[in-house]
Structure 1
Amino acid sequence: MRLALGQACDHARLFHDTGQRDHRNIAETLGTRGILPGVRRLAYFTLLLALIPASAFAGVQSRSLTVVLDPGHGGAFPHDGAHGRGGLVEKDVALAVARKLKTILERSGASVVLTREADVDMPLAQRAQIANEASGDLFLSIHCNSMESSRDRLVTRGVETYFLSPDPTDAEARMLAELENGGPSAMPMPKKTDAVAGILADLALTQARNDSAVLAQIVQRNIVRGAGSPNRGVRQAPFLVLSGTKMPSALVEIGFISHPSEGLLLANEQHQDRIAQALATAVEDFAEQVLARRLLAHGDRPTVVLPELTLDGKTTAKPAADKQAPGRRGRSAQTTRPASAGTTTSVILGALTLPVAAAGSAR
């Protein structure tokens, strides 16, 4: 279901005239029964936006929300990612989930770009470049996790979501970033004085970094709830693929391909569907909770308050001192448009229409 701006204003007058504020009455008025749950939720949120005076939308240009999905790894060994039992490979799971997620989001009206559509090796810098050239509103990199030792492979499972930071949450997060970046020998981790620090120092991207932390938390919450996966928390690390993007970005590890039972789940198409639906819900939540609330609260001066992040139920603390982390293996190397001033655009996701100021601020 998609409402044009003119229709939204008509419905706003209808609600003001009739006083039909009850959620179910509003849904019945516009006939939203019988549509997909995610679309129904977006349709309802549009009705809330429809209550905004029509003058608030004067001069607004409409476009679809642009989501960039990055299926991790690709190509032949050693660039194919982590390996599980029965020939299961990370690159294949990541691409399958990304394709399913793309279908769901496009059904809701979003514009979706995949950094790779096939089994090809793609440098990290090129993935970020694709996202930036697409003027993405958010970037989500999809991966599978893995452990090295026989004991760890038997017991370690769950999902975790990362956002960009020069300071890893812990030694394990640092090791994972090294492996995803290609290893310390193949591609050194960025230092605070290098690329990551430069990005974080750029005032135009500070908001995107804050939004990335929020995005990671929303992704983690939804995938734990929707896919029924153990919660390993929201973490931070200097991932190169995230450092090259200019929009809110997160990297999600959707499960441990090395774990006997979780690896089987990752190969299961129904479980992949659950993961994709959970991630789609996360995208919708992010659009609603960050983009829309910023608009309603601050108009064309977007700000966001970074919520408290938790790791396994505890407040995320300063990175611990060097501590030997369990070894991971199977991770392989993956070989980094401002809007014109004074313009305002509108983001549409399904029935969701969000005017978003583009002048002088990051998304």
Structure 2
Amino acid sequence: MKKATILIVFLILLFFSNALSLTLNSINIVKISQTKQTIILKFDNLENYTYIRLSNELFYIGTNNCEVKANLKPGYNIENIILKQLPNQTRIYFKLNKDYKYNINLSKINKNTLIINLISSDTSQSDDNTIKTAQTNSTQTANNIPMIITPVKPPSYNPKNITIVLDPGHGGKDSGAVGIGGLQEKDVVLNIAKYCAEILREKGFKVVMTRDSDVFIPLLQRVKIANDAKADLFVSIHANASLDPSAKGMEIFFLNATSNQKALRIAAVENDVPIEQMGTINKIIISLINQAKLKESAILAKDVDESIYSIAKPTYPGLINRGIDQAPFYVLVGTNCPSILIETLFITNPQDNSYLKDTNYQQTIAKGIALGLIKYLDTTKSIDK
């Protein structure tokens, strides 16, 4: 109890509440052409938002707690619009026609209006408009709001100016989860982090590891290492465990409060506190979350998740992707940069365990993590060389 209290006080000192009152006044769907639709969301004052694409035909926009006065009426390629109110976030899910492939672009033209450009194409014919990304188009919608598609610029950052902190979980007296055959989480994740660091350093990035040997580093010390290094990205690497041996798969978390009991149980283990205390911690997290960091971390989680799965799945066909979730991890709250926590696989599942102890798998997932981080940087960073 004393440990949890100290950590909570630490979090309060680090952050301040920035809860916003927000109203969604309208959602309009405008058909621009046979393959283009525009979704126009009008708020009273949209400061921050999160965009997560869950599959080709499903994505959501997440905001601070939001009062929705809009008529959630689908149209054209949007088959359904679903509102989900979480304790600390409002999500608007858009379910699209599954018969098409989609290119989705977002632009926030002011504090009141978010534009979602939806370009569809079927598999039997190509639409030249889906590949004309090198030009800028401006189209006037029915609501007289310009739809702007801007060209994608190549990254201009210098890797040597980017610091990435890799955090292999546990270590020393803290073995983490112990799996089949005595395989220890602390050893697996250290190997993965070392392989990942090697790849990133070869590409010119500065990499700091919270530990590079079998030593115990307290959670708050890990946060301090990241912040002292002025980290641009923070990645905490773990292996999952369950009393149910059938539980399997990879999962990536970014920081947020949650009502999901599964996510809370995982956070309780990694935070080293009883599950009973997570309710209190959850409430505190709600008032402490930096919304801009949350948005960036969600995008980072998506890029890394897609990268790991696309690289590892062909070689490891039994790999299950459990997707992206959110939970109140201490080690993510304290860092001052986009941060994610990766549960690589379940060390207690027979197949996952065989993957985790395989050096080739460790190197494969390390490559997936590294390329996912680079993908995120390529699309978000613009630093003069």
TM-score class normalised by the smaller sequence: 0.5 to 0.7
TM-score by length of 2: 0.56
Q: Is the 8 A contact 1:159 1:253 kept in 2?
A: yes
Alpha-carbon distance, 1:177 to partner: 0.6
- What amino acid is the match of 1:167? T
Partner of 1:264: 354
Residue 200 of structure 2 is aligned to residue 105 of structure 1: yes
Q: Deviations over 1:187-243 (max 9, x none)?
A: 75653553x24532xxxx432221011111111111111122311010000011101
The one of 246, 253, 256 aligned to 1:165: 256
Q: 1:235 to 1:273 in 2, by over 3 A?
A: same
Whole-Å separation in 1 of the counterparts to 2:248 and 2:341 = 17
Contact 1:157-1:259 within 8 A present in 2 as well: yes
The alignment of Structure 1 onto Structure 2 pairs a total of residues equal to 229
Cross-structure match for 1:199: 288
Cα deviation per residue 1:150-199 (whole Å; 9 max; x = unaligned)? xx21x22110000000124x2111111111111327975653553x2453
Match of 2:327 in 1: 237
Q: Give the match for residue 116 of structure 1.
A: 211
Q: Deviations over 1:103-150 (max 9, x none)?
A: 0000000000000111111111110111011000000000001111xx
- 1:253 corresponds in structure 2 to 343
* Misfit runs of 4+, over 6 Å: none
Structure 1, unpaired ranges of 5+: 1-46, 51-59, 293-345, 348-352, 354-363
For 2:238, what is the secondary structure of its paired residue?
strand
Matches within 5 A, 1:136-215: 136-148=231-243, 152-153=244-245, 155-168=246-259, 170-184=260-274, 191-194=281-284, 196-200=285-289, 205-215=290-300
Tell me the alpha carbon deviations over residues 53-106 of structure 1, each in whole angstroms, 9 at most, x when there is no partner: xxxxxxx99952110000011112xx2111112221000000000000000000
Task: Go from structure 1 to structure 2 and tell me whether the alpha carbon gap of 1:250 and 1:189 turns closer, same or farther (over 3 Å shift).
Answer: farther
CA distance in 1, matches of 2:229, 2:279: 26
Aligned to 1:69: 166
5+ residue gaps in structure 2?
1-152, 314-318
| Equivalent residues of 2:165, 2:209 under 8 A apart | yes
Contact 2:268 2:275 in 1 (8 A): no
**Structure 1: how far apart are the matches of 2:267 and 2:165?**
20
Report SS of the residue matched to 1:209: helix
Deviates more, 1:101-110 or 1:119-128: 119-128
Q: Is the 8 A contact 1:113 1:134 kept in 2?
A: yes
Match of 1:280 in 2: 370
Q: Could you tell me whether the CA contact under 8 Å between 2:252 and 2:325 is conserved in 1?
A: yes
* TM-score (structure 1 length as normaliser): 0.59
Contact 2:235/2:342 (8 A) holds in 1: yes
Cα deviations by residue, 1:295-332 (Å, 9 ceiling, x for unpaired): xxxxxxxxxxxxxxxxxxxxxxxxxxxxxxxxxxxxxx
Identity %: 37
Q: Which amino acid aligns with 1:69?
A: L
Q: State the one-letter code of the partner of 1:132.
A: N
Partner of 1:246: helix, strand, or coil? Answer: coil
- Return the letter of the residue paired with 1:141: S
Check the 8 A contact 2:332/2:340 in 1, yes or no: yes
Q: Alpha-carbon deviation of 1:261?
A: 1.7
Residues 189 and 143 of structure 1: is their aligned pair in 2 closer, same or farther, counting only changes over 3 Å? farther
Question: Counting strand residues as a fraction of each chain, which structure ranks higher?
Answer: 2
Task: Give the secondary structure class of the aligned counterpart of 1:82.
Answer: coil
1:80 and 2:170 equivalent?
no
Secondary structure, aligned partner of 1:214: helix
**Structure 2 Cα separation of the partners of residues 167 and 87 of structure 1:** 32
Please, which moves more after superposition, 85-94 or 107-116?
85-94
Q: 3-state SS of the aligned residue for 1:191?
A: helix
Query: What is the one-letter code of the residue matched to 2:352?
Result: E
CA distance in structure 2 between the aligned counterparts of 1:115 and 1:49, rounded to whole angstroms: 28
Contact 2:256/2:328, CA 8 A, preserved across alignment: yes
Does the 8 Å CA contact 1:71/1:94 hold for their aligned counterparts?
Answer: yes
Higher relative contact order (Cα pairs below 8 Å, separated by 6+ residues): 1
CA separation in 2, counterparts of 1:206 and 1:142? Answer: 23
Structure with the higher fraction of residues in helix conformation: 1
Structure 1: how far apart are the matches of 2:275 and 2:257? 18
Q: Which residue does the alignment assign to 1:216?
A: 301
Gap change, CA 1:230 and 1:135, over 3 Å in 2 = same
Mapped partners of 1:258, 1:130: distance in 2:
30
**Equivalent position amino acid for 2:341 in 1:** L
